[in-house]
Chains A and B, each alone.
Chain A
Amino acid sequence: MTTVTLYALCGVILFGIGFYGVIICRHLLRKVMALNLMGTGVFLILIALARRTPGDRPDPVPHAMVLTGIVVAVSATALALALLRRLHRETEIGDLPHDAK
C-alpha cells in the first residue's frame, strides 16, 4: 500500500463517518459539521488520487476541482448556518421534528 492509497482510504473513511453523522446525529449543528466532514473526505480522496502522476508534480486538475468544491462547501455551510440561526430564533430548538410535514 502506497501513501496515496492510505490517504485516499482515510478520505473514504471520513466520507463514511460524515454520512453516518448527517443521518444519525440529532442536533442540526452536528449534522452541518458532519456534512463538512463528508466533503473533506471527498476532497482528500481527490487530492490523494491526483498524486499518482509518474513525475514529481501532481495533476493540477483535481486540485482546482477541490478548490471549487471548498467554495461550494463554504457557501452551503453558510446558508445552512443562516437557516439554523433563523430557525433557532423562531423556535429555540436545535433539531428537526420527526414528522416531516
Chain B
Amino acid sequence: MSRLRKTELAKVGFGLIVAMIVTALGCAILALPGEESGLAGAVMLNLDQAGAKNPVTAVLLNFRGYDTLLEIAVLLLAVLGARALAVDESADDSEHFRSSINPVLIGFIRVIAPVMIIVAGYLLWVGGHAPGGAFQAGAVLASLGVLLVLADINWTQHLSDYSERILLTISLVVFLSVGLATMFNARNFLEFSPSTAKWCILLIEAVATVSIAVILLALFCCGKISNARKYHETTRGRVE
C-alpha cells in the first residue's frame, strides 16, 4: 500500500515538474518576436543557383546537404543495429502465426502496387519544385514492400544478402561520390555548380529513394529483407 502511495506521489510530483517546464517554455514561445524571417531571405536569394525550385529540397540537398548525408548514415545505422539484434527467425515458432493468406489483400495489392510505384516516381520528380522528394517517395515504396511481405509474395527470392547490402548503402556511396566529384572542379565538398546542380540533386534523390525504401523495409523485417522470406517458409511449412 505504501509503495503504491509512493509511485502515485512520484507521478504527481513529476507531473508538476513537467507542468513547470511546459509553462516556462510556453512563456518563452509567447516572448518570441512575432515576425522573423530566419534564413528565408537568404534561401530565396540563392534559390536559382541551387538546382531545385522547391526551397525545402534546396535546403535539404544543397544548402544543408551535409546534414542529409549524415542522416542517411543514421538510417543505415538503424539497420546495422537491427541486424545485430536479429535472432534466427526459423528457430521461433510462437510468433507470426499465419493461418492463411488473405485473398482480399492479394487483390488489393494487384490494384494498388502499380499506383504506388507511379506515386513514388511522381513524388520523387515533383520534389524539385513542390513538396515531395526522396524520403516521401522512399516511404511509399517501402510501404509497398511491407504489403508484399504481408501478402507473402516472394519477390526477394533472387536477392542475395550481398546485393541487399549494396542496395542498403548505395545512396550513401553515390552521395559521397557526387560530393567528392564536385571537388575536382576546384570547388568545395558538395558544392554543385549551378548548371549541374539540378542533375546532381536528381541523381542523389533517385538513388536515395531506392536505398531509403530498402532500409525502411529492412527495418520492418528485423534488418534483413531475407528474414521475411525465412519466416514465411517456416510458418507455411507448419500450416501445411
A and B touch in the complex (CB under 8 A): yes
Q: Footprint of B on A, CB under 8 Å?
A: 1-2, 5, 8-9, 12-13, 15-17, 19-20, 23-24, 45, 49-50, 52-55, 57-64, 67-68, 70-72, 74-76, 78-79, 82-83, 85-86, 89
Q: Which of B18, B71, B216 has the most CB of A within 10 A?
A: B18
A90 nearest CB neighbor, chain B only: B87
B84 nearest CB neighbor, chain A only: A82
Question: Measured between alpha carbons, how far is A23 from B22 in the docked complex, in Å?
Answer: 15
Q: Would you call the interface of chain B mostly helix, strand, loop, or mixed?
A: helix
> Can you list 22 A-B pairs with a CB-CB distance of less than 8 A?
A8-B29, A12-B25, A15-B25, A20-B18, A24-B10, A24-B15, A50-B38, A52-B36, A54-B35, A58-B40, A60-B43, A64-B64, A68-B68, A68-B71, A71-B74, A71-B75, A76-B78, A78-B78, A79-B81, A82-B82, A83-B85, A85-B222
Q: Footprint of A on B, CB under 8 Å?
A: 10-11, 14-15, 18-19, 21-22, 25-26, 29-30, 32-40, 43-44, 55-56, 58-60, 63-64, 67-68, 71-72, 74-75, 77-78, 81-82, 85-87, 92, 135, 216, 219, 222-223
Question: Measured between alpha carbons, how far is A85 from B109 in the docked complex, in Å?
Answer: 28
Cβ of B59: which chain A residues have Cβ within 8 Å of it? 60-61, 63-64
From B39, B72, B77, B87, contact of A61 by CB (8 A): B39
Cβ of A16: which chain B residues have Cβ within 8 Å of it? 18-19, 21-22, 25
Q: Would you call the interface of chain A mostly helix, strand, loop, or mixed?
A: helix
Contact A72 B71 (CB under 8 A): yes
A16-B22, A23-B14, A64-B56 known; A53 and B32 CB under 8 Å? no
Cβ of B25: which chain A residues have Cβ within 8 Å of it? 12, 15-16
